[in-house]
Amino acid sequence: MFEKLAEIICNYVEVEQSDVHPESRFMEDLGFTSFDFMSMLGELEDELDIEIDEQEVADIRTVQEAVDYLEKLAAEQ
């Protein structure tokens, strides 16, 4: 899941996949805007066939937190 997310992150911000780490913060380290983040969530919903709760993801700050959340959702499907 981490590799897939890192690949998608690179579609939204100007970073190399090798520069995306589990502890990377979306806004501070990767340069995401709120719009970028929400757009990426929409793509993840389509790619992974899951439904993301916007209130639950509001507290996600790091790539690892996003991976944990996505893996939990995928397991519930």
Q: What Å distances lie between residue 43 and 9, 11, 34, 57, CA to CA?
A: 10, 10, 14, 14
Across the range 23-33, mean pLDDT stands at 97
Q: Is the pTM of this model over 0.85?
A: yes
Grouping H, G, I as helix, E, B as strand and the rest as coil, residue 25 is strand
Q: Is the pLDDT of residue 77 over 80?
A: no
* Lookup: tokens for 31: 């340069």
Task: Name the pLDDT band for 9 (thresholds 50, 70, 90).
Answer: very high
Amino acid 47: pLDDT:
92
Across the range 23-43, mean pLDDT stands at 96
pLDDT tens string 52-69: 998 999 999 999 999 999
